[in-house]
């Protein structure tokens, strides 16, 4: 067992490669706990599409020690909150409880992760729930257009496929395939236990050691952070994809491939994105909504993965205004590439990014997430002051350079709305 401390964070590696990372926040009376698994939807082959998210559901259905009702009832009786989510590159099971109830949270989450039964009966019952979730997303055009954009950009690769899987893949997958996924990935060397709140690190370590028990007996080293992927060399998709729907609004996403998660230029892109389309004072909001009243919702966004990323613009507008809105978006992209940001925009962009980081750290759940994600997908936990210094250091030359590189890249366009012909829409 090895233990390290620094910047208010303590880290211990238990036998079997299980990592425990905590941050003590004495001023609060709660603890946020998460068990992070280094597996996401991008780790699925064709035979397992949707298995990671399906498995997330199934771990709440019962273990050797608890039924599904007992899992939820014990947490409810303590007034705690518990849930999970699946992302492209990791999965997280989390709870937030009173500090006195941390032993219960550790025991329940650890029991779910190490000892779930995943019975054929539960697999069949939960299949309908997952299919309902897919249908719910399909009914939301803003979700659909983002999925269509990702699929267009990254193609038929694990990164381009939906996290939930598809109706066909969920109907086809078997209990044995899901259980195989569980056994291969839910082992201590792939796991991180992260906690933040009113806690003592050594106490958390002992609780985790006891809860995992025999699972820690196999010798293994922690799996290294995910700093690369299989997307390099894959040509990013360009052009237009149209999903025709009889709805009252056109939903548009225009964007391109962008930066990997550890690219040093990510701070400049974050500031540029905030000034360009990240708030009510941003260029997009002012030009599209405030000056012309062409849309209720308009924003730009960026996302990062281990080896690549994306940048894009989302707009929801009247179908008759779609061409005009797209033209304005293209003009604003060209203008920021040509001219960069004004001094005032640069200041606002930095302030927005800096403020969102600092304000999020007021919440133990956000601090816990920072610990878990850093352990799984970053080479190290970056001190907050270091991140803020990097943001403050972004200058006009950095903005012009990142705009010239990223915003000029060939674009993909996804459209969801009452249209029959994609040809009028040019990416």
Supply 405's token pair.
């590189």
Residue 277: count other Cβ atoms within 10 Å of its Cβ.
25
Look at strands 91-98 and 81-86 and give their pairing.
antiparallel
Quote the DSSP letter at residue 410.
Answer: P
Sign of CA dihedral 183, 185, 190, 194: negative
231 backbone dihedrals φ, ψ, rounded to 5°: -90, -20
Q: Are 310 and 150 in contact (CB under 8 A)?
A: yes
Sign of CA dihedral 130, 315, 153, 375: negative
Look-up: residue for tokens 């403050």? 392
From the candidates 56, 126, 257, 375, give the one annotated as an active-site residue: 56
Buried b / exposed e across 392-404, counting CB within 10 Å, b at 16+? eebeeebbbebbe
Supply 406's token pair.
């990223």
**CA-CA distance, 57 to 34, in Å (whole number)?**
16
Sign of CA dihedral 79, 376, 213, 206: negative
Sheet hosting strand 81-86, strand order edge to edge = 2-6, 9-13, 19-24, 191-197, 30-37, 91-98, 81-86
Q: Assess whether 180 carries a catalytic annotation.
A: no
* 3-class secondary-structure state, position 124: helix
**DSSP string for residues in 81-92:** EEEEEE-SS-EE
Look at strands 19-24 and 191-197 and give their pairing.
parallel
Q: Which residues are catalytic?
A: 56
């Amino acid at each position: 067992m090895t233990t390290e401390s620094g910047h208010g964070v303590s880290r211990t590696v238990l036998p079997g490669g299980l990592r425990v990372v905590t941050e003590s926040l004495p001023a609060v009376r709660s603890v946020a706990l998460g068990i992070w698994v280094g597996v996401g939807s991008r780790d699925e082959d064709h035979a397992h599409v949707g298995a990671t998210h399906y498995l997330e559901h199934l771990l709440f259905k019962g273990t050797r020690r608890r039924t599904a009702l007992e899992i939820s009832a014990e947490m409810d009786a303590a007034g705690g909150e518990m849930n999970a989510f699946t992302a492209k590159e990791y999965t997280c099971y989390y709870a937030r409880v009173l500090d006195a109830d941390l032993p219960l949270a550790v025991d329940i989450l650890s029991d779910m992760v190490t000892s779930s039964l995943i019975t054929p009966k539960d697999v069949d019952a939960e299949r309908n729930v997952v299919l309902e979730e897919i249908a719910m997303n399909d009914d939301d055009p803003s979700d659909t257009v983002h999925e269509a954009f990702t699929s267009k950009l990254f193609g038929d690769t694990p990164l381009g496929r939906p996290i939930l899987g598809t109706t066909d893949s969920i109907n086809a997958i078997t209990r044995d395939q899901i259980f195989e996924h569980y056994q291969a990935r839910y082992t201590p060397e792939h796991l991180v236990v992260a906690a933040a709140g009113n806690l003592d690190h050594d106490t958390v370590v002992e609780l985790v050691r006891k809860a995992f028990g025999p699972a820690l007996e196999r010798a293994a080293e922690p799996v290294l952070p995910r700093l690369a992927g299989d997307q390099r060399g894959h040509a990013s998709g360009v052009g237009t994809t149209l999903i025709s729907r009889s709805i009252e609004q056109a939903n548009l996403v225009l964007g391109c491939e962008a930066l990997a998660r550890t690219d040093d230029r990510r701070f400049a892109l974050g500031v540029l994105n905030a000034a360009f389309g990240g708030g009510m004072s941003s260029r997009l909001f002012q030009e599209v909504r405030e000056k012309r009243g062409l849309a209720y919702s308009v924003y730009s966004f960026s996302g990062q993965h281990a080896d690549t990323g994306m940048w894009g613009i989302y707009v929801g507008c009247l179908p008759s205004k779609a061409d005009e809105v797209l033209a304005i978006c293209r003009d604003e992209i060209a203008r920021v590439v040509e001219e960069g940001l004004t001094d005032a925009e640069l200041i606002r962009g930095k302030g927005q990014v800096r403020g969102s980081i600092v304000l999020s750290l007021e919440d133990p759940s956000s601090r816990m997430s920072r610990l878990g994600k850093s352990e799984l997908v970053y080479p190290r936990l970056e001190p907050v002051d270091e991140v803020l210094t990097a943001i403050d250091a972004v200058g006009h030359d950095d903005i012009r350079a990142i705009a010239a590189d990223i915003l000029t890249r060939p674009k993909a366009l996804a459209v969801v709305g009452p249209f029959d012909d994609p040809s009028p829409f040019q990416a």
